[in-house]
Amino acid sequence: MVKHHGVPFLEKKQKELIVSESNTNDIKKILGNPSTKSKFDNDVWIYIERKQTQSKLKNLGRMKIFKNDVLVLEIDDYGILKKKQFYNIDDMENIKIVEATTESGFRKNSFIYDFMSSMRQKINDPLGQRAKKRKAITQR
């Protein structure tokens, strides 16, 4: 059994988007509405594709994430695609965000860092079992 969430075939579809040529209408036509939007100096649109499957019997049928893709699009004030970044499940484990930057850049990095940290946590502990165990231990 496979559970699918987000935009199907995100990796393939994102290749159709061309930086400095594609506009918001092209993006919506290819990918639909974004999973998340944010406003900084430019608009930031985030698209997600996530697939889970039940793991083997030895893991008691817990869900395992086998595909977790994220596409971050930055759109300028004219509605033109300014920048695109595609992350797959392997990239999220290797992301390193610089902590100290300028004020404007720090907010942007902070949002993306928080979002990617959240995704990494869901990959490592999709059912939130670690948090439940910590809570049970502290209540004793």
Least confidently predicted of 38-42, 52-56, 104-108, 114-118:
104-108
% of the chain at pLDDT higher than 90: 24
Where do the structural domains in the chain lie, given as residue ranges?
2-139
More confident residue, 46 or 140: 46
Q: Please report, for residues 56, 57, 63, the alpha-carbon distance to residue 60 in angstroms, rounded to integers and kept in the order given.
A: 7, 5, 9
% of the chain at pLDDT higher than 70: 67
* pLDDT value of position 15: 92
* pLDDT value of position 106: 45
Q: Is the pTM of this model over 0.95?
A: no
